[in-house]
Structure 1
Amino acid sequence: MNATGQIAPASAGTTAAASPEAAAAAAGSPRDSVIIEGLNHRFGETVHAAADISLTFAPGEFVSIVGPSGCGKTTVLNLLAGLLSVQEGTVSIFGSPPRAGRHDVAYMLARDCLFPWLTAEQNAEFGAEVRHVDRNVRRQRSRDLLEAVGLKGFEKNYPKALSHGMRQRVALARTFCLESPLLLMDEPFGALDAQTKMQLEDVLLSLWMKERRNVVFITHDLAEAITLSDRVIVMSARPGRVIADIPIDLPRPRSVSALQKDPAYHKLYSQVWEKLEMGLQS
């Protein structure tokens, strides 16, 4: 960490030859970091997963997507990650089409997916190692992040010695260690107990406030979406369509527990819930 207590970004020139996407992001992002226009996606001839989706995300925005199960939320994330091919419509990330393996995108799943033979520290820096970040740089970065997520002293522990919540903290540190300006998160806290979930939401907010990366966050938890986000996108039942784009104008920094007493928070919750009910009926 630097003298102000913030996590210091990796130094320039510490990676191998930068990807075209990373170079473009470093040179300056366009007005909208992510642009989705007229997106339709089908699985086979019977499942129309996403229909006519058009969204834009500004640099540094934290956007959550909520909707019924099977409405295409994860499909949108997989298209942004380049894990699915765009069938109809256009998708642009920092000015270029999505593709798997690009360095300006990181993806955090609902499961921690840690390697059992690696320590917490080694797991946290694994993605950066794959991207050929200098060993000393990635090691310091992973240690700083493990401290930030509350795991100082557990750097040498293997996953079998960590609780579920602790493993997910390692996964969160690994995601931020990648230095990617766009973070895709698919229900990363969905399997945690309520108390651990709220703790990790606060940790995520703290990390995001320091670095202000783009986040596209999938969740079924409306409270989580409102607490974390600048905007909440509500999708209908399949085929998933965008039926609401709700700005969350709660002041930052935010405290997960403090928001429970804020009337503005509860008003927003009712608004999102009303739109979600409409989506269930569509």
Structure 2
Amino acid sequence: MPEGDTVWRTAQRLHAALAGAPVVTADLRWPGLSTADLRGRVTLEVVSRGKHLLHRMQGGLTLHSHLRMEGAWRIEATATLKPGWLRSPELRALVATADWTALGLRLGELDLVSTARESELIGHLGPDLLGPDWDAAAAARCVANLQTSRVPVAAALLDQRNLAGLGTIWTAETLFAERMSPWADASGIEQDVLACVVLRAHDLLDRSRRHVVPSSTGSQRRGESMRVYGRSGRACRRCGTTVRVAPLGVGRLDRLICYCPGCQGGLGPTDDGRRQGPLGSHGS
């Protein structure tokens, strides 16, 4: 699933293409939205909030979308838009100005609401790691709140009610950088230590949003971009121990997480210890 840095870049591209111009064509291929008429409305701004996209239009309307696992927004020149795009079964939304057309493909969510009601869709989110109102201290308190009692810190970071924008890539990279086990009890971690974790997550996302290829190492070259994510079965870049992947084992937040037993406190409690071969994704 695209994470906060990718969604932020998507919002920037959509804003650059659509803002300030009236919509000349709109086609929302979503239950309950197919008859919506957006023609003539001027795009005021397109912004991200965590993993959500908010396309705000003149007249107090917001087109909200979430990419989920496979979604994407593509920008094409309106004058040369190929007819095949209109026939694509993957097309969920089309918003066009005279110059540019935004194509929403394989979107996971699509809503059209009054801008005043945006909170009904995103009000549950915690502090946005890339938001203009970012507050590291408030974010650390959210991660340590009662909702995370007896929950692994990785699950607490992945819970969008605590922090908005983190997924498994940047959760894994953050905890590796801080030498913290993904399974450490979030409620038992000192506040100043959690503050360092949250600051690290913000720093990683903030630097990554400037580049098309997500990177924690500073390199965008294939096979060199990540320190632990996608590198299970390979040697840790820091200590040489074999990087592993294991489930967090926590209900709806149960995800596979990459980590280094040598740098992060030993074998995880949900890791069976069996030999793992290289996965070959996001770095080698």
Q: TM-score, normalised by structure 1?
A: 0.28
| TM-score, with length taken from structure 2 | 0.28
RCO (CA 8 Å, sep 6+): is it higher in 1 or 2?
1
Structure number, greater radius of gyration: 2
